[in-house]
Amino acid sequence: MDLVEAVEKRRSIHEYEQRLVDEEVLRNIFLTAAWAPTHRMKEPWNIHLYQEHGREHYAEAVLDSYERQGFFEGYDEEKSRQLKKGIGDFLLQIPHHALIYMPRDEDERKFEEDYAAVCAYIQNVQLLAWEAGVGILWTTSPYLHDPAFAEAVGLDPAVYKLVSVLQMGYPKRIPRAKQRTDIMDKMKVIRT
């Protein structure tokens, strides 16, 4: 697959086959993605990869966070139990969850540089995965901003910023492309 094809054909995947991606394949994706640009060579990306039974602890932390944020308020006990079960089951049928996080630099500009580098890393992961036949959904859910969630997954929220959770697996269904705006509508060429 050439680069243009990978960039254009990659889609965000919402439905996955019920089988694990080989560990070697995943390791190569995460390894090669580290050729992302990184100012001051900080390589700020870090990963918790949840799979198999490891997903249960992650799913529990997500549900606890939703609970804290009042997601289940206003429902009777049975409805709220059903909602929790629905979310839990949904998370557990995704083969891999890669939580991407980075150390928080106190300097705002350096923090931005690090965040940008991590996003470049994530896009490398997405493209390399696509080339390997692996689908991803880049997610930024509210629990990533919940300090108690960070603690529940063993990360000090004062030290680390949680950037994203990448849902990963072999695609069951590839959604149709959402068209992009012609870049000429957004670009000005200034010559003089």
Ligand X SMILES: Cc1cc2nc3c(=O)[nH]c(=O)nc-3n(C[C@H](O)[C@H](O)[C@H](O)COP(=O)(O)O)c2cc1C
Torsion-angle region of 41 (φ positive above 0: left; ψ -120 to 50: alpha; else: beta)? left
How many residues bind to ligand X according to rule CB under 6 A?
Answer: 8
**Choices 32-40, 88-96, 138-146, 182-190 (CB under 6 A): range interacting with ligand X:** 138-146
Q: In what order do the strands lie in the sheet with 160-169?
A: 46-51, 96-103, 160-169, 135-139
Across-strand partners of 137?
167
Pick the closest to residue 129 from 52, 21, 51 (CA basis): 21
- Select the residue interacting with ligand X from 63, 128, 137, 162 (CB under 6 A): 137
Q: Smallest gap, in angstroms, from Cβ of residue 97 to ligand X? A: 13
138 binds ligand X, rule: CB under 6 A: yes
List the interface residues with ligand X, window 4-43 (CB under 6 A).
Answer: 11-12
Q: Reduced to 3 states, what is the DSSP secondary structure of residue 138? A: strand
- Select the residue interacting with ligand X from 178, 186, 188, 191 (CB under 6 A): 178
Q: Which residues bind ligand X (CB under 6 A)?
A: 11-12, 137-141, 178
